[in-house]
Homo-oligomer: A and B are copies of this chain.
C-alpha cells in the first residue's frame, strides 16, 4: 500500500469507448487514502426517438489544454486525490457513452462537488460540438448550447 496523497490526473480525448471499472481501478489501485470516488458518465440519448446517433467534433490540442485548466481549478478548490476525464469524439450511436469524469477524495462531499463542477465546465468551456444524426438517415442540426448550462456554471462563482 502506497501512503502518498499524490494527485493522479488523467485526461484523454479518444474515439474509442472507455471502461469505467478499469479507470476507477487505475485511480484507486494501491491507495488507502481514497475513501470516495464519484463518477459521471454521459450517454447518447435518442431525444424522444428523433435520433440515431450524435457526431462529436472537437478542437484537438485545445480540448486537452482546456480540460487540464478546468481540472487545475477543481484541484485547487477541493482536496482531490485523483481526477480522470475522458471525452470521446466521432460518431456515437444511441446508448453509447460520451464522457467520463471521475473524482477521488478522502470524503464524499469533495468528490461529488468536484465531479459536478467538472461537468458544468466541460459542457460550456471544453471545445466540443455535437451534431444530430436523424432517424430518417439525414444529418440534422448542430446542437444548440443551453442557457441552463451557462447558469449551472455561474453557481461556482
Contact = CB atoms under 8 A, between A and B. Distances in A.
A75 interface: no
B115 A112 contact: yes
A145 interface: no
A128 interface: no
A30 B25 CA distance: 26
A26 interface: no
Interface of A: 1, 3, 19-22, 24, 28-46, 49, 94-95, 106, 108-109, 111-112, 115-116, 119, 152
Q: Which 8 A-B pairs have the closest CB atoms?
A: A21-B21, A32-B46, A32-B94, A35-B45, A39-B39, A37-B41, A112-B116, A20-B21
